[in-house]
Amino acid sequence: MSEASMQTSALPDDVLISVRNLKKYFPVHAGWLRREVGQVKAIDDVSLDIRKGETLGLVGESGSGKSTVARLMLRAYSLTDGQILFRQSDGSTIDLSQLSDREMRAVRREMQMIFQDPYSSLNPRMTLLELVGEPMIIHGAGSQGEIRDRVAELLQVVGLRPEFINRYPHAFSGGQRQRIGIARALALNPSFIAADEAVSALDVSVAAQNINLLQDLQEKFGLTYLFITHDLGMVEHISDRVGVMYLGRLMEVAPTEQLFAKPLHPYTEALMAAVPQPDPRGNRIRKRVPLKGEIANAANPPAGCAFHPRCPYAQAKCSAEVPALRTVEGGRQVRCHFAEELSLVGAVA
């Protein structure tokens, strides 16, 4: 391991993973020679701490960069700039941004991902034994017999029958396939799991079962989750803290209860107002002013605050100056010039 990656830059004791000033720019090519003509700032200056054993929810519209943050944390993408500090199981802290791909492979044991689409994320030609056992084979964790026993145990842990071990994914429903993905993620005893829209493709009753499973597993194995979703009801239900993203930037981070009771960023307020509630009488009373327009093009973001063209409270300053993510009273973080002056409405029960 290189010298740089050994530095233990101050990572607070209760933090498992911390990204600092994370940036990811994708090049834009155009013309006959495919020359680089610009950059898409997919992630622009995102800083975030995830504490041990907590669930951090990440919400935002499609194109806001929430999945990219997760993929950067696991180094599925190389980052343009920034630090990713991760506390390993032996207690040492490393900066993942400094690791080579080879060094990264060893760390990935402790970091896993669950994907949205249970139909395309599992190889249809592999049995459950091969699917769930694959990470163990790659990391050389045990003999064939040991792997078989461990897979059977994992299937039981996620609520599938161990007898299914030789079946193929097509024999399972969407909810069950998602459980196979969860078993696969658990195979190497990770401490951190990024769940990218893990229940979004499932039916209501199945989503509820799988959410409960994820919560049980968290308690049982002391897991830390990054939970990415566009479903605000789900994020409120499962998260301890929530980050709100817009156009590659973090707009607000707050403990779940505080965020939903009183958002500090106009975008958070607009997101909450947009969710139709399973409450017809309430919907009739609640005046809902839908947000105008659409998320801007990340290749050509608006000047100043990225949200200002759609913001009902925007003032002259908003189109001129980029607001910084700053800490306000109560330790909450917000990226808005006027957070203290606005009085925004949360989700009313």
CB of 201 to another protein, least distance (A): 10
Indicate whether 145 belongs to the interface with another protein (CB under 8 A): no
- Please say whether the beta carbons of 264 and 313 come within 8 A: no
Instruction: Select the residue interacting with another protein from 23, 25, 26, 61 (CB under 8 A).
Output: 61
CB of 140 to another protein, least distance (A): 36
Indicate whether 125 belongs to the interface with another protein (CB under 8 A): no
Indicate whether 281 belongs to the interface with another protein (CB under 8 A): yes
CB of 214 to another protein, least distance (A): 11
Indicate whether 230 belongs to the interface with another protein (CB under 8 A): yes
Footprint (CB under 8 A) of another protein, residues 169-228: 173-176, 203-209, 211-212, 215
Footprint (CB under 8 A) of another protein, residues 287-306: 288, 290-291, 294-295
CB of 100 to another protein, least distance (A): 37
Indicate whether 279 belongs to the interface with another protein (CB under 8 A): yes
Interface ranges with another protein (CB under 8 A): 61-62, 173-176, 203-209, 211-212, 215, 230, 232-234, 236-237, 256-257, 260-261, 270-281, 283, 288, 290-291, 294-295, 346-349
